[in-house]
Every structure is written in C-alpha cells, then in structure tokens.
Structure 1
Amino acid sequence: MSGHSKWASIKHSKGKADKQRSKIFSKLSKEISVAAKLGDKDPDMNPRLRSAIQAAKSANMPKDNIERAVAKSSINSETNYENLRYEGFGPDKIAVIVEALTDNKNRTASNIRSIFVKSGGSLGTQGSASHNFNQMGIIKIDKKEISDEQIFELAIDSGANECISHDDYHEVQCAMNEIYNIKKKLEKIIVNFISTEIEWVPLNNVNVSKDRSETALEFLETLEDDDDVQSVYSNINFGNN
C-alpha cells in the first residue's frame, strides 16, 4: 500500500476517535467560515463551501455548529485567513507538505519549524518537497454508499483518472481542475461524501521500517494537531520488517 493510502487510512480511522473530535470540528469550522467568506453563502453556488459542509457532516458535526460557522464568516469580517503551504523533510528523510489556514503567519511558521526540528527534520523552501508529489483532485466516499463495481463504473464515466477502494472508503482521483465537474456528476447518484479536496499524492514512497514508523507517525500527528494546520501529506511507506 502506498504511503499516501496508508497515511490517509490511518488519518481516516483516527479521525473517528472522540479525543480528536473537537479538534477536527475546529478545523472544519474554520474551513466553512473561510469558504463562506470568500464566496457565496449558498452551498449550491459555492463548491468549496459545499465540500466543507459535506466533510463536516461526514465527521458527524452537529447542524448548529455548521450554521454557526457559516454565520461567523460575516461576524469576523476583519479577520483574514491565509492559505499557506510549508514543505520539508521529517524523520528518515520523508518528504512532507503541510497546508495551513492562519491569521498569523509568524506564529504558524514558528510552530511548524519547531515541530520539524524536534523530529530531527528540517523545513525547506517552496518546491523543496513538492516535486516528490502530484497535486490531484481526491473525492472520498464511504463504502456503505456504493459498491466497488458501481463506483468504479461511475467514476470512469464521470471522467475520473482512477478509482481505488480501500478498507472502508472509495477514493476517486482526477485532475485537480476537474474535481468539481466530476463531483457534480457523482452527486447524481451519491448523496454523502467524506471529503472533496485537492491533495498531494506522492510519486515515489520512502520506506520506513516498522521499528521507526512510530517516530514518523508521532511527527505527522504532531503537525496535524497544530491548530493552524488543515492537512498533512507525506511520501512515507510503512514497512513490515
């Protein structure tokens, strides 16, 4: 299994743990507020907002929380969040991309640099790690929604590049500029989605042995736990020896 798939699977299962719930809700609320602020407050007219709300529903975020996050976009008109990307290398030279949504660039940069240094890694410049990845549109659907055969046919008919069925969810991969067109076609059959995002998929993976994987996992989880961090991508491949 590729590092992208394995790390994504680990995040997907961990995301259901109660101890992670409030942090996940906080990140989802921020994305909903920013999406509503930057575009239409009607999800049908704003693909980014629609995707953010669907992700929130998939995480069982209460309807009241979602409505508050949309309303917050008007109240906090003076707060400007920026989308930022950080790149670097963690334990065992794994390439890492961190996407953040922040109202304080200095705080975020300082925190992320500190996490990299403490792990024995280093934060690099833009492009230092991203050449190890392809940016792609990734649409995730719970396996309860549709069978392996049906989603594969639907994905290909919708113009997707690839469809991979994991243990508990399907992953539809497509060109990032086609993601919302393909999503619209999928929505004719599928109602509930886990997420719709532009993700960084590794071109090649770095193997990390089983005895070293815990260190790498702790590093990636520490990055994800930072309040300003929205997503973490890595080319790690967890070994079995």
Structure 2
Amino acid sequence: MSGHSKWHNIQNKKGKADAQRGKIFTKVGKEIVLAVKNGGPVPENNPKLRDAIAKAKAANMPNDTINRSIKKASGELASVDYERIVYEGYGPSGVAVIIETLTDNRNRSAGDVRAAFSKGGGTMGTTGCVNFMFQEKGEIVIERADLDEEEIMMMALDAGAEDFEAEDEVFVITTSPDDFGTVREALEADGLEFLEAAVKMIPDTYTAIDEEAAKKMQKILNLLDDSDDVQEVYHNAEFPEGWDE
C-alpha cells in the first residue's frame, strides 16, 4: 500500500533540529500539562494523556521524567494556562505551512511566527489559507531494522490502520484521528516500539523546491524551532534529493 508521508524528507528535518537543541522534552512536557489539565493525571482514564505519553516515549523520554511531568502538571494547573493557537502561511515557492503553538502569551507566539516567515522569505497568512491542503491523520513510524514488512503491515491493518507505507528505513502507518489511540495501543501490545507516534496534519500534495528555496525554508523551520511556543510545524515542501542542512 502507498501513502504520502515522505517521512525522512519532510518530518525528520524538524525532528533532528529538535533533538539537537534539546527542546523536545520541553515540548512534549507541555503536551502532558495540557492533557492533564483537560482530562486528569490518570492515563487509564485520559486518552489524550496516553497519546502524549506515547509521544514522549517515541522521543526517548525516560519513564521517571514522564512521571515527574505528570506530577508537575497536576501542581502547575493553577499557575500555567496554555492556549493552543494555529497559524498558517506560505514559505518560499508557495510552500504551505501550518504551525501549532501552545502558549501562555499569544502576542509572543504570533511575533515569533511572523518573524520566522519574514526572515525566511515567506508570508504569514490568514486562518484557513492552507489548512484545506492538509488532512488530519494519526501517524506511527517504526524503524524497519529486521522486521518483516508483510507481518507489520498485517498487524497494522488488523488493528484498524488506514494505510501502510514501507520507506527505505522506516514503516509509516496512517490512521484516522479517532482510531489513532486504538491502533497505537494494539501495536504497543504486540511489542512494537515507535520512532514517532502522533496525530498530525499531512499534506495532500507536495511542492518541490530548489536549493535556494530549500535554504530559505530551512531558515523558517530553524527559527520556528527556536520558539518555545511552537509545538509542531507541518509543511508540504519537498526538499532537493540529498538535502541535509
């Protein structure tokens, strides 16, 4: 079966940047805070918290750090009020960009996003200007290693996945947003570990960009990654073959 993830070319760029800056734990920690605030600190009773914990584990966050984050979240609720705000815009060559923020200061987050677009040759757009070019999907990424492709595909589809794609180094499993938790938990129960597991915005089509546009697009991504308010960045840029800046 085929899909449209192009995981290493699209999403892994940001994943590497997050890891280099040591910020991924902070970002996931904020997801845990929001999940606890909205549904309580008991994972068994809080699907969003279970999803956040899975995301933390995929980022190699130690269990004791996850537990501390949950306890900290329970104590922080009176003083921290995170708001989820989504921004949209265009990168170089008309690349569509969606930015999800989790912030306690909307003026600061808007300023960070606007500056990133401006310095990278892009433009900030209005709500809905590119959202229609993406679909919300659950995505689970598993390292291929010595796993059997057909076996993993059947496990995923039997668990309720919509699609399965075998890339050079990974398997990418796609689900509906509603079925994401069920599929993820079924695969976890089968002993599989994930490189990534999250509900995200996946583009319907991709825009191929040249080296010059890639440099500008990478600048936008790096600046957005520098913002503590930015949680996720989704785009439909297809970087040149071999691009790794």
TM-score, normalization by structure 2: 0.87
In structure 1, the residue matched to 2:180 is 179
Alpha-carbon distance in structure 2 between the residues aligned to 1:145 and 1:190: 14
Equivalent positions of 1:47-196 (< 5 A) are 47-78=47-78, 79-144=80-145, 146-196=147-197
CA RMSD of aligned residues (A): 2.3
Aligned to 1:171, the other structure's residue is in SS state: strand
Alpha-carbon distance in structure 2 between the residues aligned to 1:73 and 1:93: 39
Relative to structure 1, is the Cα distance of residues 151 and 176 closer, same or farther in structure 2, using a 3 angstrom cutoff? same
Q: Relative to structure 2, which stretch is displaced further, 179-188 or 115-124?
A: 179-188
In structure 1, the residue matched to 2:31 is 31
Structure 2, unmatched stretches of 5+, are none
Relative to structure 1, is the Cα distance of residues 63 and 181 closer, same or farther in structure 2, using a 3 angstrom cutoff? closer
Q: Relative to structure 2, which stretch is displaced further, 151-160 or 53-62?
A: 53-62
Alpha-carbon distance in structure 1 between the residues aligned to 2:143 and 2:40: 27
Count of residues paired in the alignment:
238
Relative to structure 1, is the Cα distance of residues 159 and 57 closer, same or farther in structure 2, using a 3 angstrom cutoff? closer
Equivalent positions of 1:183-222 (< 5 A) are 183-222=184-223
Does the alignment pair 1:41 with 2:38?
no
Identity in percent: 34
Aligned to 1:190, the other structure's residue is in SS state: coil
Equivalent positions of 1:215-230 (< 5 A) are 215-230=216-231
Aligned to 1:134, the other structure's residue is in SS state: strand
Asked if 1 retains the 8 angstrom alpha-carbon contact of 2:88 and 2:128, the reply is: yes
In structure 1, the residue matched to 2:12 is 9
Asked if 1 retains the 8 angstrom alpha-carbon contact of 2:59 and 2:196, the reply is: no
| One-letter amino acid of the counterpart of residue 11, structure 2 | A
Asked if 2 retains the 8 angstrom alpha-carbon contact of 1:133 and 1:200, the reply is: yes
Relative to structure 1, is the Cα distance of residues 202 and 169 closer, same or farther in structure 2, using a 3 angstrom cutoff? same
Alpha-carbon distance in structure 2 between the residues aligned to 1:85 and 1:143: 33
Deviations, residues 156-213 of structure 1 (Å, cap 9, x unaligned)? 2122111123344322111112212222332331353333322111111111013431
Q: Relative to structure 2, which stretch is displaced further, 119-128 or 56-65?
A: 56-65
Deviations, residues 110-150 of structure 1 (Å, cap 9, x unaligned)? 11111111212111111101111111111223335843222
Structure 1, unmatched stretches of 5+, are none
* Cα displacement (A) at 1:14: 4.6
Deviations, residues 64-84 of structure 1 (Å, cap 9, x unaligned)? 322221112222122111111
TM-score, normalization by structure 1: 0.88
| One-letter amino acid of the counterpart of residue 211, structure 2 | K
Aligned to 1:34, the other structure's residue is in SS state: helix
Relative to structure 1, is the Cα distance of residues 58 and 197 closer, same or farther in structure 2, using a 3 angstrom cutoff? closer
Aligned to 2:181, the other structure's residue is in SS state: helix
